[in-house]
Amino acid sequence: MDTSVPSGIQTLSEEVVHLIAAGEVIDSLAAVVRELAENALDAGASRISISVWAEQWRVRVADNGRGMERHDLQQAALPHSTSKIRSSADLWRVHSLGFRGEALHSLAQLADLEICSRSHADEGWRIRYNSQGEPVYTEAVAIAPGTIVTVSYLFANWMPRRQGLPSAAQQLRAIQLVIQQLALCHPQVTWQLEQEAIASVAHETRPWFTLWAGASAQQILPQLLRDVQPGDLQEWSSPDASLYLLLGLPDRCHRHRPDWVKVAVNGRIVKIPELEQVIFAALRRTLPRDRHPVCFLHLHLPPGQIDWNRHPAKAEIYLHHLEDWKTQIAAAIDAALRLNPSSVADSAYNSRIGQVIRAAEAAGSYGDADREDGSDPDVPIAPLIPLKALAQIHQMYILAEHPEGMWLIEQHIAHERVLYEQLSDRWQLVPLEPPVILNQLLPTQIEQLQRLGIAVEPFGDRLWAVRLAPEPLAQRSDCAEALTELSFGGDLDTAIVATACRTAIRNGTPLSLEEMQALLNQWQNTRNPRTCPHGRPIYLQLEESSLSRFFRRHWVIGKSHGI
Ligand SMILES: [Zn+2]
């Protein structure tokens, strides 16, 4: 126990009171749930049960955290009391969620408030408070260690506020969102929600939803998004644990709407638009058109690096060292997208290869933000994972053996991914000798080529000479056709995609084993081997464990079946 932290509840100075009051707004049932749930988290709870009677304007939150002793409980709802801060400077130093103690006083003012609590050292107590937060009734109760807060008749003395709020159904939806966000940020907690049973005369409750505790957000997110499995997600943590990233793998999950990029700071979902933009940008060209990523980012930082005053109501904040964070986040996404042992299957790697990769990680070469290394096409690339080309199927798929199963890789888009990344790193225009002659160009096409750095000169009647072309197109017999395609519009990235697609090995092209192996090695070292620049999945993985299930290898039949 840290004895330097003052225990018990302190009365705050006037100055702090105003600061707190500004940020602490109880404006809905969801706000009540959020405040009480965050109090429970601060008390170290691992199980939080919440009952909601939306029609009755009543909420009960029960936790198994550290309870309060009688003395603290009697002061808990007094004005300007909190166990966490004593001066305005403390506000910026608190490591816990916020300045929560004040919420109880607000709740006493806005509703009937009752708290039962029991610390390990004390027996349990039930206290009811008046609207000033003073205890008006105290009795001993037999309860398990922890705290149960009941808030009833919310806004009963302030009917206009009730009338301004959305329907009970919408308030329940808001509560669900609050709990989902808290669960992602605090995966160690099991949440059990109940709501009032339909047509219940006695206001009984029925189970609503449960979120089970997990080792990390990777076990929580699949409970929130149907169709997402833990294996569809890749985690990444910085060595100092200040950055945690959970990324939906682009070949396995994405959304219709850009609604699942969430950023949390110190246990709370917040809005930092600059960081959301970094995430969307880092995942460009990994998803199909009009699909959006699934990503949860959690930063843990000293409170001094956060400025909560940006937009308190919307929880929009400023971060210090923003540029550093942007760089780190882009590097983390980069690391999460690459093929590595944990993103394929933990068991899929023999320990020797695992050691090689871990050694490379420790040396900083793996997941490094510097994208130049490893992209030199002249240096033979060491395979990250042991994929062995076995055969070509329909002159379209490479069948590869892997220690834990087999993979099918579509040759055209795997090569397209390789070329796309090479061209993104090094887009070069080379002279055309002799020039390529194009005809019938519209002024917009000429402008477009010039925007891409490709100069065009008149060359006679409705003919134009082009003397520069992207390097991979220069020697091709369809160079004129390719340049015409580029003249139809789009930015440089679009031109790179078009060039990669045109120059990648076509489906229908026969490949030797050596060529297939070389392509596999290059492809698995790309920054995003999972999807092509149009967002299509590149490979299909058949794990030995699933094959074994399919072939019912656990059946004991007899020697005649070769078992
Ligand atoms: Zn293509």
pLDDT digits (tens, 9 = 90+) for 501-527: 999 999 999 999 999 999 999 999 999
CA–CA gap between residue 87 and residue 307 (Å, rounded): 17
Q: Which pLDDT band holds residue 430 (cuts at 50, 70, 90)?
A: very high
Query: In the chain, what is the straight-line distance between the N-terminal and C-terminal CA atoms, in Å?
Result: 59
Residue 290 alpha carbon to ligand 1 centre in Å:
18
Place of tokens 């090695």: 521
Q: Which pLDDT band holds residue 303 (cuts at 50, 70, 90)?
A: confident
Collapse the DSSP code of 460 into the 3-class scheme (helix H, G, I; strand E, B; otherwise coil) and give the result.
Answer: coil
* Greater pLDDT, 41 or 371: 41
Residue range 24-35: mean pLDDT, rounded: 83
Q: Which residues contact 440 (CB under 8 A, 6 or more apart)?
A: 462
Residue 421 alpha carbon to ligand 1 centre in Å:
14
User: 395 and 465: one domain?
Assistant: yes
Q: Where is average pLDDT lowest: 174-183, 222-231, 410-419?
A: 222-231
Q: Strand 146-152 vs strand 190-196: parallel, antiparallel, or unpaired? A: unpaired
Phi/psi region, residue 285 (left: phi>0; alpha: psi -120 to 50; beta: rest), is left
Q: Of 210, 249, 245, 244, which is closest to residue 231 (Cα–Cα)?
A: 249
CA–CA gap between residue 149 and residue 40 (Å, rounded): 10
Residue 381 alpha carbon to ligand 1 centre in Å:
23
Q: Which pLDDT band holds residue 17 (cuts at 50, 70, 90)?
A: low
Q: Which residues contact 547 (CB under 8 A, 6 or more apart)?
A: 405, 406
What's residue 3's pLDDT?
Answer: 39
User: 58 and 166: one domain?
Assistant: yes
CA–CA gap between residue 413 and residue 531 (Å, rounded): 8
Q: Where is average pLDDT lowest: 306-310, 446-450, 508-512?
A: 306-310
Q: Which pLDDT band holds residue 16 (cuts at 50, 70, 90)?
A: low
Task: Give a yes or no: residue 527 inside a domain.
Answer: yes
Residue 330 alpha carbon to ligand 1 centre in Å:
26
Whether the pLDDT of residue 147 is over 70: the answer is yes
Residue 475 alpha carbon to ligand 1 centre in Å:
19
Residue 123 alpha carbon to ligand 1 centre in Å:
70
What's the distance, CA 349 to chain centroid?
A: 26
For residue 274, give the CATH number of its domain: 3.30.230.10
The answer, as to whether pTM is greater than 0.85, is: no
What's residue 428's pLDDT?
Answer: 92
Q: Which pLDDT band holds residue 14 (cuts at 50, 70, 90)?
A: low
CA–CA gap between residue 328 and residue 520 (Å, rounded): 29
Whether the pLDDT of residue 290 is over 50: the answer is yes
Q: Cβ distance 208 to 194 under 8 Å?
A: yes
Choose one of 211, 230, 245: the last residue of a domain: 211
What's residue 311's pLDDT?
Answer: 67
Residue 251 alpha carbon to ligand 1 centre in Å:
16
Residue 184 alpha carbon to ligand 1 centre in Å:
37
User: 184 and 246: one domain?
Assistant: no
Choose one of 211, 237, 266: the last residue of a domain: 211
Percentage of the chain exceeding pLDDT 70: 81
Residue 413 alpha carbon to ligand 1 centre in Å:
6
Whether the pLDDT of residue 87 is over 70: the answer is no
CA–CA gap between residue 89 and residue 13 (Å, rounded): 12
Q: Where is average pLDDT lowest: 212-216, 330-334, 547-551?
A: 547-551
Residue 502 alpha carbon to ligand 1 centre in Å:
7
Residue range 340-366: mean pLDDT, rounded: 44
Residue 452 alpha carbon to ligand 1 centre in Å:
21
Whether the pLDDT of residue 12 is over 70: the answer is no
Rounded (10°) CA dihedral 389, 391, 395, 397 = -50
- Phi and psi of 206, rounded to 5°? -130, 155
Task: Give a yes or no: residue 332 inside a domain.
Answer: yes
User: 195 and 286: one domain?
Assistant: no
Residue 508 alpha carbon to ligand 1 centre in Å:
13
What's residue 347's pLDDT?
Answer: 34
Residue 370 alpha carbon to ligand 1 centre in Å:
27
Task: Give a yes or no: residue 5 inside a domain.
Answer: no
The angle at the Cα of 236, spanning 230 to 238, to the nearest 5 degrees, equals: 155
CA–CA gap between residue 420 and residue 497 (Å, rounded): 6
Residue range 33-58: mean pLDDT, rounded: 93
Whether the pLDDT of residue 351 is over 90: the answer is no
Q: Of 528, 532, 530, 522, which is closest to residue 412 (Cα–Cα)?
A: 532
Q: Cβ distance 35 to 177 under 8 Å?
A: no
Q: Of 182, 190, 192, which is closest to residue 298 (Cα–Cα)?
A: 182
Residue 371 alpha carbon to ligand 1 centre in Å:
23
User: 227 and 333: one domain?
Assistant: yes
User: 264 and 190: one domain?
Assistant: no
Residue 250 alpha carbon to ligand 1 centre in Å:
17
Task: Give a yes or no: residue 201 inside a domain.
Answer: yes
Task: Give a yes or no: residue 4 inside a domain.
Answer: no
Residue 498 alpha carbon to ligand 1 centre in Å:
8
For residue 156, give the CATH number of its domain: 3.30.565.10
Task: Give a yes or no: residue 560 inside a domain.
Answer: no
Choose one of 148, 176, 211: the last residue of a domain: 211
Return the DSSP state at 244: E
User: 185 and 283: one domain?
Assistant: no
Residue 438 alpha carbon to ligand 1 centre in Å:
24
Residue 501 alpha carbon to ligand 1 centre in Å:
4
What's residue 352's pLDDT?
Answer: 37
Residue 412 alpha carbon to ligand 1 centre in Å:
6
Residue 503 alpha carbon to ligand 1 centre in Å:
9
Residue 523 alpha carbon to ligand 1 centre in Å:
15
Residue 532 alpha carbon to ligand 1 centre in Å:
8
What's residue 95's pLDDT?
Answer: 39
What's residue 489's pLDDT?
Answer: 83
Q: Of 259, 54, 37, which is closest to residue 171 (Cα–Cα)?
A: 54
CA–CA gap between residue 553 and residue 538 (Å, rounded): 29
Any bridge partners for residue 114, and if so which? 128, 150
Residue 299 alpha carbon to ligand 1 centre in Å:
37
pLDDT tens by residue, 456-476: 999 888 899 999 999 999 989
User: 255 and 232: one domain?
Assistant: yes
- Phi and psi of 317, rounded to 5°? -130, 165
* Greater pLDDT, 557 or 98: 557
Residue 496 alpha carbon to ligand 1 centre in Å:
11
Collapse the DSSP code of 132 into the 3-class scheme (helix H, G, I; strand E, B; otherwise coil) and give the result.
Answer: coil
User: 147 and 226: one domain?
Assistant: no
Q: Cβ distance 171 to 54 under 8 Å?
A: yes
Residue 416 alpha carbon to ligand 1 centre in Å:
6
* Greater pLDDT, 463 or 96: 463
Q: What is the mean pLDDT of the chain?
A: 83
- Phi and psi of 5, rounded to 5°? -85, 125
Q: Cβ distance 411 to 397 under 8 Å?
A: yes
Q: Which pLDDT band holds residue 530 (cuts at 50, 70, 90)?
A: very high
Residue range 411-432: mean pLDDT, rounded: 95
Burial class (CB in 10 A: 0-12, 13-18, 19+), 323: exposed
For residue 409, give the CATH number of its domain: 3.30.1540.20
Residue 423 alpha carbon to ligand 1 centre in Å:
14
* Greater pLDDT, 165 or 361: 165
DSSP string, 69-92: -HHHHHHTTSTTEESS-SSHHHHT
Residue 486 alpha carbon to ligand 1 centre in Å:
15
Largest CA distance in the chain: 101
Residue 71 to residues 117, 539, 554: CA-CA distances in angstroms?
Answer: 11, 63, 63
Residue range 480-491: mean pLDDT, rounded: 91
Task: Give the domain range for residue 277.
Answer: 222-337
What's residue 384's pLDDT?
Answer: 73
Where helices occur in 24-158 by DSSP H, the ranges are 29-42, 70-75, 88-91, 101-110
Both tokens of 108, joined, read 């006493």
Task: Give a yes or no: residue 326 inside a domain.
Answer: yes
Residue 93 alpha carbon to ligand 1 centre in Å:
53
Residue 27 alpha carbon to ligand 1 centre in Å:
52
Q: Which pLDDT band holds residue 2 (cuts at 50, 70, 90)?
A: very low
Q: Which pLDDT band holds residue 316 (cuts at 50, 70, 90)?
A: confident
The count of structural domains within the chain is 3
User: 142 and 268: one domain?
Assistant: no
Q: Which pLDDT band holds residue 349 (cuts at 50, 70, 90)?
A: very low
What's residue 162's pLDDT?
Answer: 83
Q: Of 118, 117, 83, which is closest to residue 100 (Cα–Cα)?
A: 83
User: 329 and 279: one domain?
Assistant: yes
Whether the pLDDT of residue 268 is over 90: the answer is no
Q: Which residue type does 37 have?
A: A
Residue range 372-383: mean pLDDT, rounded: 46
Whether the pLDDT of residue 280 is over 90: the answer is yes
Residue range 397-426: mean pLDDT, rounded: 95
Residue 420 alpha carbon to ligand 1 centre in Å:
10
Task: Give a yes or no: residue 361 inside a domain.
Answer: no
Residue 332 alpha carbon to ligand 1 centre in Å:
27
Residue 537 alpha carbon to ligand 1 centre in Å:
12
Residue 258 alpha carbon to ligand 1 centre in Å:
26
The angle at the Cα of 479, spanning 478 to 485, to the nearest 5 degrees, equals: 95
User: 117 and 184: one domain?
Assistant: yes
